[in-house]
């Protein structure tokens, strides 16, 4: 599955509330590590405060990156997003992930470089 920079920044926040046994937390930890940014990516992206002074972060554009998302990681992310939807707590960033992980919309990716 191709993940944008925004996806890779949002997924760990979605997974932050996941609780469970060793197996679940191991999958969550491994998946967060897998989609994290390498030192080389940090050098290219140059994360910084927004130039317009608004809230959030901006970065240089890089292509979406392909990741192998195992079935258990997919299930955990999907369950977390469904929980946010049920509680009416989806926002613009998690909505894009909801479309991709829950609804299977491959075009739900947001390549915008402003958070």
pLDDT averaged per 10 residues in sequence order, the chain, 115 residues = 96 95 97 97 96 93 96 97 97 95 75 48
Q: Output the pTM of the full model.
A: 0.85
The reported pLDDT for the residue numbered 26 is 97
- Residues 65-100 as b/e (b if ≥16 CB within 10 A, e otherwise) read bebebeeebeebbbebbeebeeeeebeebbebbbbb
CA 96 to each of CA 8, 39, 73, 81: distance values in angstroms, whole numbers, following the listed order: 12, 26, 17, 10
């Amino acid at each position: 599955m191709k993940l944008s920079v925004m996806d890779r920044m949002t997924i760990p926040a979605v997974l932050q509330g996941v609780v469970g046994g060793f197996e679940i937390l191991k999958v969550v930890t491994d998946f967060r590590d897998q989609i994290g940014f390498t030192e080389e990516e940090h050098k290219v992206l140059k994360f910084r405060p927004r130039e317009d002074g608004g809230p959030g972060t901006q970065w240089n554009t890089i292509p979406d990156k392909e990741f192998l998302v195992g079935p258990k990681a997919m299930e955990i992310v999907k369950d977390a997003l469904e929980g946010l939807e049920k509680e009416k707590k989806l926002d613009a960033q998690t909505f894009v992930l909801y479309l991709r992980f829950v609804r299977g919309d491959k075009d739900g990716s947001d390549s915008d470089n402003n958070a």
